[in-house]
Amino acid sequence: MLAPGGGFVCKLFQGGGEKSFLDLLKRRFASVKFAKPPASRRDSSETYVVAQGFRPGA
């Protein structure tokens, strides 16, 4: 279980089903940011999600 105020990082592959997951993250975390590292190929469907400030039960 993630403690209140905790953070979450994951690699996300875009493919059509990620919208509901991102909506949940935005409800449960104070801040949700996306990053695509420069080392990642431009045409790659991967991106990273960094969520901070977990709000349990939100």
Q: Is 19 a catalytic residue?
A: no
In angstroms, the first-to-last Cα distance of the chain is: 15
Q: How many helices (H) and strands (E) does the chain have?
A: 1, 3
Contact 29, 52 (CB under 8 A): yes
Q: Determine which one of 11, 26, 33, 36 is catalytic.
A: 11
Cite the active site residues: 11
